[in-house]
Amino acid sequence: MDKLRELLTECADEGLDHIVISRPRDKKNTVSKLRIRPVIIKGNLMFQEISYDGPKVLHKNLDKVSLIDGIMDLMERDYVQIELAADDASATGLVNRKGELSLKVKRTPDKAAGRMLPKTSLAHDRKKKRILEEGKPVGFLIDLGLMTEDGHVVKSGFDKYRQINRFLEFVDDITFALPKDREIRILDFGCGKSYLTFAVYYYFKELKGYDVRITGLDLKEDVIIKCNELRDKYGYEKLDFVCGDVAEYFDKETGGCDLMLTLHACDTATDYALYNAIERGAGVILSVPCCQHEVNKQIDSSMLAPIMKYGIIKERMSALITDGVRAELLDACGYDVQLLEFIDMEHTPKNILIRAVKKKGRVKNEPKISRELEIMLDEMNIKPALYRMLVKS
């Protein structure tokens, strides 16, 4: 194991591309694989660990010491195989039944010659590869004002460009839960100018070659008209934009849904979208909420009164409580739920993404709302919109 620690220490300092740990020793260990890569967070070198636990994908960031100690612990106790790739070396390690690690390391010619690769070769220093790459013109991004004709992102649109790509990364992570043998049905509630709607259609249709149908819904008729005109320009036959209120959409339109999206649907519009998704039996939900005002107006807790007199505290706590309750209600309806950071706070304060994947074999039935959640809602005197709709139904 000492040889592995030396290699990890060397590669963590310079040139690491990725590490994959797999083959759990204990069959009860549901985390089948972990993938680690270097990232830069606020100017500091960190290492992002992605663990795959059934349908769940969990992320956490580690410093160098925690990374090395954590990997050593995992290989000594929990896993059989490790693979490492760096600029100047690659390695594969296997643990035998005696707990001994056999590590095979292959050096590149640069390393063998004793020439260290420059710092700029570090994986985290390279230009980030995005799903919609800068430098490659994408028609709808040009028409929507985010890109120039030669594929460069305009300065004023860079935050939106990052948001779109980040959302597409989350979409890419959940494709395993979508049907492969028929048309994928997607609803985007509160689509607005439809940057995201076009991007998701482009991702599935153009980049992945899937059979997909997407409907975008928004209240602004003039925006919907422009979106449909742009749709016609690019010949996206299975992309439709409809003017309407998400609160009334379910009553007017029936049909199933495989993936439901919302990006910054305001206040209770998110609740109506989530309810729509639940009622339609959506396999996957990806929702970035916005402007959680409802709970802010309702909350009345003697226990929290001393700190709720501070407006900014009340606003932020209400927003977090709102999304936490939404997550619990989705869990009660048969979904595996995660609350994830959507994008850095410096780019948008609306940075929580609700990721819900329907559990296998779960059919639509009465939500199993926990007694603990009921007690919490009573103590705070809150009854959020999604709760009211689920209880009423």
pLDDT, tens digit, for every residue of 183-199? 999 999 988 889 999 99
* 115: pLDDT strictly greater than 60: no
DSSP state of 343: S
* 346: pLDDT strictly greater than 70: no
DSSP state of 153: B
* 140: pLDDT strictly greater than 70: yes
CA atoms within 13 A on the CB side of 208: 20
Residue 202: the pLDDT is: 95
Domain boundaries, the chain: 2-125, 177-392
Please give the order of strands across the beta sheet that includes 335-341. Answer: 239-243, 212-218, 184-189, 259-266, 284-290, 352-358, 335-341
Rounded to 5 degrees, φ, ψ at 58 are -110, 140
Give the angle 297-303-307 at the CA atoms, nearest 5°: 65
Query: In which band, very low, low, confident or very high, does the pLDDT at 109 lie, cut at 50, 70 and 90?
Result: low
Residue 111: the pLDDT is: 43
Give the three-state DSSP class for 164.
Answer: helix
* 350: pLDDT strictly greater than 70: no
* 172: pLDDT strictly greater than 80: yes
State the Cα–Cα distance between residues 7 and 232, nearest whole angstrom.
55
Q: Answer for the pair 16, 123: CB distance below 8 angstroms, yes or no.
A: yes
For residue 117, with 0-12 CB atoms within 10 Å meaning exposed, 13-18 middle and 19 or more buried, which class applies? middle
State the Cα–Cα distance between residues 184 and 191, nearest whole angstrom.
18
Q: Return the CATH fold of 177-392.
A: Rossmann fold (3.40.50)
Q: Answer for the pair 51, 33: CB distance below 8 angstroms, yes or no.
A: yes
Nearest to 215 by CA among 266, 251, 261: 261
Residue 117: the pLDDT is: 37
Residue 108: the pLDDT is: 65
Q: Answer for the pair 354, 285: CB distance below 8 angstroms, yes or no.
A: yes
pLDDT, tens digit, for every residue of 261-295? 998 888 888 999 999 999 989 999 999 998 888 99
Q: Answer for the pair 239, 352: CB distance below 8 angstroms, yes or no.
A: no
Give the three-state DSSP class for 70.
Answer: helix
Rounded to 5 degrees, φ, ψ at 272 are -65, -40
| Long-range pairs for 364-370: beta carbons < 8 A, 24 or more residues apart | 364/278, 364/279, 364/281, 364/334, 365/334, 367/329, 367/332, 367/333, 368/332, 369/328, 369/329, 369/332, 370/328, 370/332
Mean pLDDT rounded to a whole number for the chain:
86
Give the angle 299-353-186 at the CA atoms, nearest 5°: 115
Mean pLDDT of 75-104: 88
